A and B are shown apart, each in its own frame.
Chain A
């Protein structure tokens, strides 16, 4: 038999051995395949040993054939090996949970931030203010007559503390974020646009829909040409962005001492889309905020810079918007801080 026949024979044997393709081998089978062809006593090795007896020309030819055969077998084995190892098991479970820490912001903060950022993108500047306020900023400066029943809506916690004799009245926990209108306007000249989130306090007993402490966001814009149509535009834009739906809004006349004209704003019910359901008490609409054109009496004490200006203002409850958007049934869930609740949002 010539070495040419041997080569052909080995080729055939390999073709037979590898017939099932690189997918069909276990690691053990691959190893025995390797030993039988490439091992020290393997089939290819045997051919190398006859090399010395051949002519230079034949040596060259055999070398070439052998190398081609060897690399064919090697590449088959490495292919089979990689398939086999992917089948026999991984070094680790890639689906195990990571030990990443799970801190989160409170849903009220997130919603508050979202609301603020919508208004910021419209050009409103963000402000914060103190929760301990004075009667003047909370009431008088906002055209709220302390002796009038309209004040009942702004029932207030008073703080047991002497107040300086500066005409600003007693200390209290602010009952709305509107006092920041007074503070900001005292400090800055128009035109101005501000958005103020924060905690507010009213002596209400705590139940599923009331809390003596809640969060409000006040926004206002003061300029010579501010008008009601613009207020509608700003709030429509807000509602569509916040509720991520093409909600309809409607303006219903209302009364607030610090705006004239005043309005409440309803959005089309998020659940039924306006057809009427239990969430909207069959009306198809849900009240979300109060607003209006800033009452001239609010500008009056502010001096020259505020002569001839107009403005609009709006205020909304963060808890209420949050409950609407996420279907949260009880306001107390916000303040209980149970991990199970905090984890949901």
Chain B
């Protein structure tokens, strides 16, 4: 909001210069974000917090200045004007209000105005507040809105049919051309101001073109009312019109200002536009609560750690317009009608503290930790740290990608899996909720490849945003690799699987045969494989790529329950045997061979080590060489004993399809 320094200085009677005033307001919580100083004027651009509807008036801001300077709030009786004499209740126009549409409505009939440009001081005041001057009558309504925070509207009285102002809900599909020249289609939830025939304004939001004050207007109806804030907000949102009026109404307005502002405007119109107020029509009744709250200096000290002297408390609150009654050890504070945000003691304490200065509150340190909860998540945190650690050990870079993905990505990666999606998305690119980090990582893979990075190895840990993971954090690990050769990309994925098996689950992870889509299952902990061509195409990935996703919750369960105990170091020597063989990997793989060896190796087989992998171009198959270690815990094993187990292993291996033993 734009605030004229000159106007504010006049209203508050402050001696402060503009910089000092801007600084003071900022430290009271009304942040002046910038200042525009030009010859003879200065305009503050201020950020009004949404709780302070009173700051949407010059009077409200002037009260801040008064409190800062410890002076009483401006005297409304002196500031506000009234027209000389009006016959109440006898206008030519009657007012009718439907239930729930308006708390209080007031229409003042003014005759014989002469529409003209405003005097310079008035036009200047508006311009410095960011409002374009139009003509004297409209400008006066805006001026009074700025002064009191009460939006006013002037209708051309001669354009109103049937001698009635009727505040009602709009009919279904009722239409009105608003002051901005656009036709709006209304709904039954919207409130309109109507005459006997048609709507003439959208209540609290914008006037209608059909009743606009023009240069030929002579008689006017001046509206001042209090509309329900929730309804105004909904209409404003639905129609997408944000006006000075709706902005104030949806934050709620000071009930006491409804009449004050209207009468002040009347007096100004009589003075500057030559009209004469001849009658007032009213409907409804204003609710003006004046809650009383008890607060003491002790309360302030308990919450803040500072003793604010009683006379300071008094001066601050009276500057802000509160009335105060002093009791023995406390104050009974009456909340003024313009402070609808003040409801409880803590609200009053904030008022005192912010004006007294947060910077005056001493710095102290709490004794946290004595009885507070701690260590609840230590185990999980340690687990996650280990996961991060092993990924870095493997050489992966952690990435952070968006949890919302496009329909294209969702279809390409998740195929027919139904995903949750946001109903009010800002872009088609960010609509579906991911089940893990892989889709986002693929995007980052593509970007890196396009930037010329050949080997990209990314991982991310993120929540699965699925229907099955509501109300709890369900973490997934995703890893994506691209390389010039598919085998190299997959090898990195495998290094992560091996590290997880070694450091987290402590048992081998079984890689099950490829599914039809080329994806392999990992002991139910997740899946891995090469990224298929269709997915790569959707992401624009040109190089071979591989992925891995692991359900961290599942491996966490294994990790947290593992039981590790010291095992005595070997005291007797091991006996070693080598086996080498030609393997047809289409028929049997490493994992399977190791299982055969293990199952037939007997109790003394301690370790199976792959020592060589070799491919001879002149013949099919791949040569695998293993070294087997046999050891007995209680005594020295003879090579004869170990040789028996070794013989069984060879015999069993020889039976398997796809193995051609080279040993013997």
Contacts and interface: CB of A to CB of B under 8 A. Distances in A.
Interface string B609-636: 0000000000000000000000000000
Nearest to A260: B346
Contact of A193 (B233, B302, B369): B369
Given A193-B372, A260-B347, A203 B470 contact: no
Interface stretch (B71-79, B456-464, B561-569): B456-464
B471 A106 contact: no
B151 to A, nearest CB: 15
B346 A296 contact: yes
A123 interface: yes
A101 B400 contact: no
A104 interface: yes
Nearest to B23: A283
Given A255-B29, A255-B49, A336-B447, A159 B420 contact: yes
Nearest to A161: B420
B430 interface: yes
Contacts of B344: 260, 296
Contacts of B370: 191
Interface string A163-207: 000000001010000000000000010011110000101011110
B359 A227 contact: no
B366 to A, nearest CB: 4
B619 to A, nearest CB: 32
Interface in A240-298: 250-255, 257, 260-263, 293, 295-296
A28 interface: no
B363 A171 contact: no
Contacts of B38: none
B353 interface: yes
Given A152-B50, A159-B433, A132 B470 contact: yes
Nearest to A110: B398
A213 interface: yes
B420 to A, nearest CB: 5
Contacts of A20: none
Contacts of A188: 373
Contacts of B397: 102-104, 106, 337, 339, 342-343
Q: Which one of B49, B52, B422, B453 has the greatest number of beta carbons of chain A within 10 Å?
A: B422
Given A130-B469, A161-B467, A233-B366, A106 B400 contact: yes
Interface stretch (A34-42, A72-80, A81-89, A142-150): A142-150
B427 interface: yes
> In which size bucket is the chain B interface?
35 or more
B586 interface: no
Most B CB contacts (10 A, CB to CB) among A148, A237, A296 go to: A148
B465 A336 contact: no
B374 A125 contact: yes
A221 B372 CA distance: 9
Contacts of A310: 302-303
Contact of A103 (B51, B229, B391, B424): B391
Contact of A149 (B251, B346, B457): B251
Nearest to B355: A253
Contacts, number: 250
A253 B347 contact: no
Contact of A335 (B377, B380, B400, B448): B400
Contacts of B401: 335, 337
A253 B29 CA distance: 4
B366 A250 contact: no
Nearest to B426: A203
B27 interface: yes
Among A129, A255, A339: residue with most chain B CB under 10 A: A339
Find the residue from A108, A122, A125, A233 having the highest chain B CB count within 10 A: A125
A102 B457 CA distance: 10
A33 interface: no
Contacts of A255: 29, 49-52
Contact of B373 (A125, A226, A232): A125
A108 B401 CA distance: 11
Contact of B365 (A102, A104, A233): A233
Given A103-B395, A227-B304, A236 B363 contact: yes
A203 B425 CA distance: 7
A223 B401 CA distance: 38
Interface string A202-219: 011110000011000000
B402 interface: yes
A252 B29 contact: yes
B477 interface: no
Given A160-B423, A212-B426, A253-B29, A232 B350 contact: no
Given A232-B361, A232-B364, A212 B404 contact: yes
Contact of A213 (B51, B250, B362, B403): B403
Given A212-B404, A250-B359, A339-B453, A261 B354 contact: yes
A335 B469 CA distance: 24
A123 B368 contact: yes
Given A236-B363, A260-B349, 15 more contacts: A129-B473, A147-B233, A171-B470, A191-B368, A193-B368, A212-B430, A221-B372, A225-B366, A229-B362, A234-B365, A253-B28, A253-B358, A260-B344, A261-B358, A342-B397
20 contacts: A103-B394, A125-B374, A127-B376, A129-B473, A132-B469, A157-B404, A158-B423, A201-B404, A228-B305, A229-B361, A230-B305, A230-B364, A252-B31, A254-B49, A260-B346, A261-B346, A336-B444, A337-B447, A339-B448, A340-B451
The 6 closest A-B pairs by CB, nearest first: A229-B305, A101-B395, A253-B29, A123-B369, A103-B392, A123-B368
Interface of B: 26-29, 31, 49-52, 229-230, 233, 250-251, 302-306, 344, 346-347, 349-350, 353-354, 358-359, 361-366, 368-377, 380-381, 388, 391-404, 420-427, 430, 433, 441, 444, 447-448, 451, 453, 456-458, 462-463, 465, 467, 469-473
